[in-house]
Chains A and B, each alone.
Chain A
């Protein structure tokens, strides 16, 4: 028999259960508006055909980029110039540090809320391009909505995804360089490596320098865990890094690379594996910037901030950069570019296209930004900056080296989806099994390739 209290209790329970079900349905459904599903419908009419990306430049434009401090001011300064030229446009910027930027982008992508114009880099591109999160910009170039007459084609190609579509327009090109404490190198009597030096020359250079350096200073920072050194190693041998979203280089190539560094480490010519493990990641805090090692590989645009640190810690010492070692296969330098993309869910494509076009062509904007995120890809702008007598000497050196790298027609590496997450972190960990764990380079190379290929295959 039903007690007098049963009905109300059931109703109360029913109320709670109903609210809970409603909430679950609500939360479950809210996850359904994702980039790949919905946005192409709205974007498609504007993203193809002769009129692609053309239309009224007006309304609000959300842009997002990585960087902090000065770069935020410079990027927002360029946005202000764009708004001044296009009254009726409001630019809403979002910025974060590099790692946090991509994490936030992923979360925004999950709810179909990517900014209209997100900044991209080649190493992350495939993760977004293969998921339909970004718009193919080729039709916008064909229609004239975006014009890139002064950006070399091989640089434009770094914005292409695995399917050949153009997913971002590179405005800045960074390259990896070997940063050398020129003062220490001079004291050690080795000077700087000659242009076109090989990996063999590089090893001899490090060993020779170690013999004459002050106590406690290593000639090189241990580099076996740096993927960018390894990319240069494969390019110098003319080997591909990736093919069909799998690793293309051989186990021997990787094992020999790690053996190269192990020989130097065992000879006492590098920092120790433990020192390397606790090195701060910020470029301005790296050991070479602190004067604790004579050389290391850093992004080319890290020269100025590195020098600022060194000048504070060891006044009088000077840093410089040289190209990466080369080999029979060619230059070891590859470009990694940064640029602007248009998200597939963007509902203001004409303004987004106009914004990107402004970055690619406007002289005043380029002069203001001053190659802050890698050398400016527009060759006219590059020459203007090199000709500027007020350009600081270190920046001038950085841009001249960039010009030297670009003249060598650097190869383009096409990075598979999940490269950053699956390759870069695993690479350092795999080398640690050699340098700290005592695994042989051959075994570590085999294990690393199997692990990364499996991860790429699961993407």
Chain B
């Protein structure tokens, strides 16, 4: 029976003793019918047990390490909890506090600005580099690995400290500017520019989306370009009419992933600002403030509420992306 047939005859209906089924049919297990039925039920039971056996580690991990703590943190978000004494239920108080907390608002502002600036830059730079690498240049594997490398180490403490050295008052960047006759400043110590030094760090780690774009570019059928060239299309026209539409599934994927990652950025701000989000809260990322509230100020209830607010926002963003995808994402197999 094909899938289509099964849909026609009723969703999910299985026949007794259907050996293609993995889930056990409980009626089979208890049916005292024919010997064929008993053999089949024994087989099904063994298969089911094997299936659950293989599933158990994942299921246990999912329940104990992910869903369980998440549900508990949802409960904590309605409590006042300082880690050392039992949580006290206080309803929506944590969520109400967020609305009047000036540092919460500051962290939201900083994070939104970071996402709005960093995500487009990362995507544009990674696509441009991918297009350059797609030109069939020599030593491509070397360049590809070189450009990918920063994304492996970019979120590490060591690189964050290197960034301090790069963009500090006595840093390498200022030395470079001085050669051009431009007087530099402390890019990390100035509240007007500190966030942009972190944006630069995130743009530098464009490797992951670049690799994905590069893989996508290699899948674009060459015949399309050839046909377009025969019709007299220039490079720009080819890019906007062939490359960009063909890449939209990957753009969709990269926008989603890069945005979600940007909302959760933590390590660079933590290391570069010594954990305080300074100067003047100019690098106070949402997750950094959440961390301060939870682990420094021991307000785990408030931190949990913040975490759930972020989860909801990211969920809404993801839903929005999927809802709008059909208007702008082009899959090759669609008409």
Contact = CB atoms under 8 A, between A and B. Distances in A.
Contacts of A36: 84-86
A111 to B, nearest CB: 9
B190 to A, nearest CB: 5
A12 B23 CA distance: 9
Specify which of A27, A128, A276, A433 lies most central, judged by the most chain B CB atoms within 10 Å of its CB: A27
Interface string A416-450: 00101110010011001100110000000000000
Contacts of A107: 83
A110 interface: yes
A232 B65 CA distance: 48
Interface residues of B, number: 45
A275 interface: yes
B280 A28 contact: no
Contact of A275 (B64, B72, B186): B186
Contact of A5 (B12, B164, B278): B12
Nearest to B274: A281
A24 B68 contact: yes
Given A110-B84, A277-B189, A278-B164, A23 B64 contact: yes
Given A37-B86, A132-B85, 8 more contacts: A8-B25, A23-B64, A23-B67, A27-B69, A272-B189, A277-B279, A433-B280, A436-B280
B8 to A, nearest CB: 16
Given A5-B13, A20-B63, A27-B69, A436 B85 contact: no
Given A8-B26, A32-B86, A274 B189 contact: yes
A432 B278 contact: yes
A106 interface: yes
B164 A27 contact: no
A10 to B, nearest CB: 10
8 contacts: A8-B25, A31-B72, A127-B84, A274-B279, A280-B164, A418-B298, A432-B191, A455-B297
B216 interface: no
A28 B188 CA distance: 42
A275 B169 contact: yes
Specify which of B69, B276, B281 lies most central, judged by the most chain A CB atoms within 10 Å of its CB: B276
B225 interface: no
A437 B192 CA distance: 10
Given A24-B68, A24-B72, A34-B84, A428 B189 contact: no
Given A5-B14, A23-B63, A277-B279, A103 B72 contact: no
A421 B298 contact: yes
Nearest to A20: B63
Interface in A55-84: none
B280 A19 contact: no
Interface residues of A, number: 54
Interface of B: 10, 12-14, 23-27, 59, 63-64, 67-69, 71-72, 75, 82-87, 164, 168-169, 185-186, 188-191, 274-276, 278-281, 292, 295-298
B72 A277 contact: no
A248 B280 CA distance: 26
Contacts of A35: 84-85
A212 interface: no
A423 to B, nearest CB: 11
Contacts of A32: 86
Chain A interface, >50% SS class: helix
A274 B190 contact: yes
Interface string A30-59: 011011110000000000000000000000
Given A7-B27, A24-B72, A28-B72, A278 B297 contact: no
A278 B168 contact: yes
Interface in A1-27: 3-5, 7-9, 11-12, 19-20, 23-24, 26-27
A425 B72 contact: no
Contacts of A37: 85-86
A27 B281 contact: no
A200 B205 CA distance: 51
Nearest to A112: B84
B185 A274 contact: yes
Contacts of A103: 295-296
A131 B63 contact: no
A106 B279 contact: no
Contacts of B14: 5
A429 B24 contact: no
B7 to A, nearest CB: 14
A432 B284 CA distance: 14
A410 to B, nearest CB: 28
Nearest to B76: A31
B298 A127 contact: yes
Contacts of A99: 275
A278 B276 contact: no
A166 interface: no
Given A20-B67, A35-B84, A274-B279, A28 B75 contact: yes
Contacts of A433: 280
A224 B191 CA distance: 17
Contacts of A280: 164, 274
Contacts of A437: 191, 280
Contacts of B86: 31-32, 34, 36-37
B75 A8 contact: no
Contacts of B186: 272, 274-275, 277-278
A278 B169 contact: yes
B275 A432 contact: no
Contacts of A349: none
Sort A-B residue pairs by CB-CB distance and give the 6 closest, nearest first. Answer: A274-B189, A277-B189, A277-B279, A278-B189, A131-B84, A274-B186
A433 B69 CA distance: 38
Given A274-B189, A429-B281, A23 B68 contact: yes
A5 B296 CA distance: 52
Given A278-B168, A278-B169, A273 B189 contact: yes
A27 B12 contact: no
Interface string A306-328: 00000000000000000000000
A274 B23 CA distance: 65
B188 A278 contact: yes
Contacts of B82: 131, 459
Contact of B295 (A11, A27, A106, A432): A106
A350 to B, nearest CB: 25
